[in-house]
Amino acid sequence: MEDWESILLVSLEIGFRHLDPQDRCIWARLTHTEHHRELVDVVFKSRNSEAIADLLHAWTTKGSFHAPPHTLLGICTGHLVGLRYLVPFSPRLRRLVIRSVELTGYEGFEGVGVERFIELLNHLHTTVEDMDWGFRWARHLLDTPQSSEGVQRLSHWYWELLVELAVSIPVRLIRATTYSPQIMTFLTEAREWSKLEYWMGTVCVAWPPEAGGITEEDLNRLLPLLFRQRPGTAQKLNRWMERWSRKYGGGVPESFQRICKQAHEAAQGGAL
């Protein structure tokens, strides 16, 4: 076909533009072939935001008899990280890019570089309402700041979002991710006190000392320092823990209350 590129764009429009991007399921059986990379290049080079949304819709929906292999989205990652410079993000395109990131995850974007991936995240400004599966985003946001570059570049919005996810979704889904002490080290060395505040909230909920996560020794060393820099942190930590305990039953752990009290006293003593 001499005009196969136009036929491709028209077929995507017929197949997917009328579908609701909020709906994750369609009744369709999609056949994937070795020609995908060329098809992807054609769609993205068209700079047609709706056609790009059509392609992402086709590859991120799930039917009862067909689950598209999400690894195919890896073909799109190089295009996605630079997409905001080429086309305006309509609400539909933004929603489908968010879903693509959710399905692909941090690892799927490693080939394009941490900096470009975080630029995309910061541009998307993802909210809880945008997510299909909050636990996926929690794990992606735990993976992203595993380097000093990730710590510095990931916006405050996502650090706050991470602690909100930790409080609101079943903790076992986060606890399956290994606790990483280096994030705390990066934040402390960079003097990113606001981000450290949110990170400590996440740690206290997801990996408390009694669960084999952070040690009391680490908390006794870091919390007084944080409380001196951010005097309101103690109240925030207590509010997060109280919300978590109300959601999943039981009271705020005594170990947490004891450690916070000791840290608060140590912070006040250090400030005198």
Instruction: Give the range among 93-102, 115-124, 235-244 with minimum mean pLDDT.
Output: 235-244
Q: What is the pLDDT of residue 82?
A: 93
- Please give the C-alpha separations between residue 131 and each of 59, 69, 92, 261, in angstroms, as whole numbers: 17, 19, 14, 36
pLDDT at 83 over 70: yes
Q: What is the pLDDT of residue 229?
A: 92
| pLDDT tens-digit series, residues 16-74 | 666 666 666 655 555 555 667 888 888 899 999 999 998 898 888 764 334 444 567 88
Global pTM value: 0.82
Q: What is the pLDDT of residue 69?
A: 44
66 phi, psi to nearest 5 deg: -155, 125
Q: What is the pLDDT of residue 31?
A: 57
